[in-house]
Amino acid sequence: MNEEYEIKKRLGNGVNNPFRVPENYFEDFTARMMSRLPADESETSTDDSSTSTPVIEMNNQKRHSKWLSWITAVAAVMVGVVIGLHIVDNNQQGPTATPTPTYASVQSSSEDDYEDIAEYAMIDAGDVYAYLSGF
């Protein structure tokens, strides 16, 4: 005898489903469910790479080399300007009037120099961010 015999005897006709669902519930469920699914991240990213991988690689290389050459140019100009300012400063003050630079004076001098360079090169923070983001 099944151990659930007593339960089935009470119910009369064994396992009977007393629950109902709204009309067409199961027929419509799949479409409703699929419309709720979020985009699959790996699906999106893989699709992008599979359709445009060569273009992205070329752009990345181009962007990377462009960015590097720009940074190199700015660094070279900065070094040149700092050395030039230092020589001019030494010539104006003479050999006996050279004070020992403190951290504050060096820092403010560097910041001033950077601002000067940025002004001469006619660039601002927006240009730098645009270069870094590749646009």
**Which residue ranges make up the site for another protein (CB under 8 A)?**
3-4, 6-7, 10-12, 15-22, 25-26, 29-30, 33-34, 36-38, 40, 42-43, 46-47, 50
Q: How far, in Å, CA of 128 to CA of 52, rounded? A: 27
CB neighbours (10 Å) of residue 29?
11
Residue 49: CB minimum distance to another protein, A: 10
Q: Backbone dihedral region of 124: left (phi > 0), alpha (psi from -120 to 50 degrees) or beta?
A: beta
In the complex with another protein, the residue whose CB is nearer, 28 or 89, is: 28
Beta-carbon contacts of residue 109 (< 8 Å; ≥ 6 apart) = 101
* CB 123 to another protein: min, Å: 41
User: Whose Cβ is closer to another protein: residue 30's or residue 100's?
Assistant: 30
Residue 89's contacts (CB-CB under 8 Å, 6 or more residues apart) are none
Q: 20 or 95: whose CB is closer to another protein? A: 20
In the complex, the smallest distance separating the C-beta of residue 54 from another protein, rounded to whole angstroms, is: 19
